[in-house]
Homo-oligomer: A and B are copies of this chain.
């Protein structure tokens, strides 16, 4: 009998060429698929909620696969974690309805982007170290502009395969702690490098290179060349996928 198994996966993206399988390269999808094949004794096709780029982390990537193996979910969890390298951890295994698809059933995805204000040795692989001072008020004002349904062409490096660059952003906020600023964004879909392009441009607002009205002009231009630099991958986390 065919079963559909959902995985929640945490990974440190530092030493991966992203999520998606590529020949000869170390990818998260490849590592997990290979270990699944060992414990299930059959090939599986692991469907991720979406790709993450080289160096991007995940707190809770979601993936699913179908199998006729009868191995129970606790054995899959323990088996995978026993075989996987220590930079990928399976946090949860669940059996779900056959029509569940990690990619197409997703209603929204949430990303976090961590900025460290200054230099840090211990967090260096997991944050963007920003050395200039930031005006949080203008950063927040510019960020409010992206909430709602907009064309994000100015924040997308390659053209979307779906033809449209319109995304519906339901949340876009900054959390501030003593040493960090964390950007949290939830949307129905994300374009390629969208979060990193947004953060790179918002930080230009925060440090005064762009004004809030410049930011609005950039959004309206629908032209990536008008926006700021792409923030580094090491600060970005796929945090949650909602179904």
Contact = CB atoms under 8 A, between A and B. Distances in A.
A124 B81 contact: no
A3 interface: no
The copy count of this chain in the complex is 2
Contacts of A124: 12, 86-87
A4 B116 CA distance: 30
Interface residues of A, number: 18
A119 B12 contact: no
A126 interface: yes
Nearest to A10: B121
A59 interface: yes
Nearest to A85: B121
A182 to B, nearest CB: 14
A105 interface: no
B87 A12 contact: no
B88 A11 contact: no
Interface string A30-73: 00000000000000000000000000010100000000000000
A11 B12 CA distance: 20
A126 B126 CA distance: 12
Contacts of A126: 122
A7 to B, nearest CB: 13
